[in-house]
């Protein structure tokens, strides 16, 4: 198993651990969903015995890129692609966004027809009301929004009338907790011998009825996004704080939520021990953050009052 396959399995399993006993109230179980290639597998978890039991798998149209649960926990939304990763030249041909239904046992099945996407997706999520599926793309940087029908199937793509700035190398798209704005993390690119650095940014858009309008971007650091390479963000479960993993600087940043935007500069920064922080999640009710790094390594930081980090 190569690094990309390992990380896809590990991170999608972690992300989808939220699809748990809340999925079906009558069944007290925790279910994990693991992706490897184009297959998404259900595992039953026995916490007391510390065991995993594989159950059924469902085949998707191409390799799984990301998985996100519907707020009802009755559906999963899965982006897939046969393209090469990152900035590799192979654009692929089979790019899809799929809805999956979760039955009473936790088993998955295709739910309606997949939406055809025009390019390789890198991340997808769902708005807080479960009415729209958000997808972003890295090369070129782009985004799309699809309606979610009342039965959980995917509807039509929402055409965006406003002129939007998609940044460079989008890596994640999420709704703000208010559901009145959307944040897209754009990583930029490091300089090399053939080209100068591309700036990174947090792109913020006003969001209403599936349509976006531009809001001021966050170009952290005062250099127009140069020297800033954000990769992933997540929200504290109870406080107005956003945690941003900054890959190129190998740091975790904390911003305060201010209305439907964020503080222009971080309230706190925390250097990590290794290069290339990839992803992290608030844990234990927001008392810790868990960061995965390259090579495959888990880094845990205790939090403290005010959203910062203990040393």
**Which sequence spans correspond to the domains of the chain?**
3-229
Q: What is the pLDDT of residues 175-210, one digit of tens each?
A: 999 999 999 999 999 999 899 999 999 999 999 999
Banded model confidence at residue 21, pLDDT cuts 50, 70, 90: very low
- Which of 20-24, 140-144, 172-176, 257-261 is predicted least confidently? 20-24
Mean pLDDT, the chain, whole residue set: 85
How large is the average pLDDT for residues 209-217? 95
Please, which pLDDT band fits residue 214 given cuts at 50, 70 and 90? very high
DSSP string computed for 58-126: EE-SSEEEEEEE-TTSSEEEEEEE-SPSTT-S---S-EEEEEEEE-TTS-EEE-SPPEE-SS-EEEEEE
Beta bridge partners of 43: 32, 54
Read off the tokens for 163.
């002129």
| Cβ atoms of 146 and 160 closer than 8 Å | no
Average pLDDT value for residue range 132-150: 97
Q: Residue range 262-271: average pLDDT?
A: 94
Chain center to CA of 29: 25
For residues 42 and 31, what is the distance between their CA atoms, to the nearest angstrom? 7
CB distance 146 to 126 below 8 Å: no
Position 19 scores a pLDDT of 43
Question: Alpha-carbon distance 244 to 190, whole Å?
Answer: 18
Are residues 298 and 216 in contact, defined by beta-carbon separation less than 8 angstroms? no
Inter-residue contact 143 to 168 (CB < 8 Å): no
Q: What integer pLDDT is reported at residue 11 of this predicted model?
A: 39
Helix (DSSP H) and strand (DSSP E) numbers for the chain:
1, 24
Containing 271, the helix (H) or strand (E) segment is strand 268-271
Rg, Å, the chain Cα set: 19
Q: Pick the residue with more confidence: 160 or 86?
A: 160
Q: Say whether pLDDT at 14 is over 70.
A: no
Among residues 206, 272, 207, the alpha carbon closest in space to that of 243 is found at: 272
Q: What are phi and psi of 67, to 5 degrees?
A: -135, 135
List the CATH code of the domain at 3-229: 2.130.10.10
Q: What is the pTM of this model?
A: 0.84
In three-state secondary structure terms, 31 is: strand
Dihedral sign computed on CA atoms, order 65, 276, 168, 202: positive
């Amino acid at each position: 198993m190569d690094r990309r396959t390992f990380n896809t399995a590990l991170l999608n399993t972690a992300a989808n651990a939220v699809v748990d006993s809340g999925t079906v109230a009558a069944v007290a179980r925790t279910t994990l969903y693991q992706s490897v290639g184009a297959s998404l597998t259900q595992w039953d978890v026995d916490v007391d015995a510390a065991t995993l039991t594989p159950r059924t798998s469902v085949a998707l149209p191409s390799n799984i890129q990301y998985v996100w649960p519907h707020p009802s926990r009755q559906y999963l939304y899965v982006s897939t692609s046969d393209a090469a990763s990152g900035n590799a030249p192979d654009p692929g041909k089979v790019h899809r966004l799929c809805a999956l239904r979760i039955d009473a046992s936790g088993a998955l099945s295709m739910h309606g027809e997949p939406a055809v996407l025009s390019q390789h997706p890198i991340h997808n999520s769902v708005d807080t009301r479960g009415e729209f599926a958000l997808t972003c793309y890295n090369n070129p940087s782009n985004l799309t929004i699809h309606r979610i029908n009342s039965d959980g199937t995917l509807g039509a793509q929402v055409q965006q009338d406003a002129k939007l700035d998609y940044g460079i190398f989008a890596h994640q798209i999420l709704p703000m907790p208010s559901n009145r704005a959307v944040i897209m993390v754009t990583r930029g690119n490091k300089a090399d011998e053939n080209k100068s650095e591309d700036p990174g940014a947090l792109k913020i858009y006003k969001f209403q009825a599936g349509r976006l309008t531009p809001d001021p971007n966050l170009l952290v650091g005062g250099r127009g996004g140069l020297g800033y390479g954000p990769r992933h963000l997540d929200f504290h479960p109870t406080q107005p704080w956003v945690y941003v993993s900054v890959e190129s600087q190998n740091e975790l940043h904390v911003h305060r939520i201010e209305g439907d935007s964020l503080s222009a500069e971080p309230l706190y920064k925390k250097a990590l021990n290794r290069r290339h922080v990839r992803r992290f999640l608030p844990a234990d009710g927001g008392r810790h953050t868990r960061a995965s790094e390259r090579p495959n390594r888990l880094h845990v930081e205790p939090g403290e009052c005010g959203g910062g980090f203990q040393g």
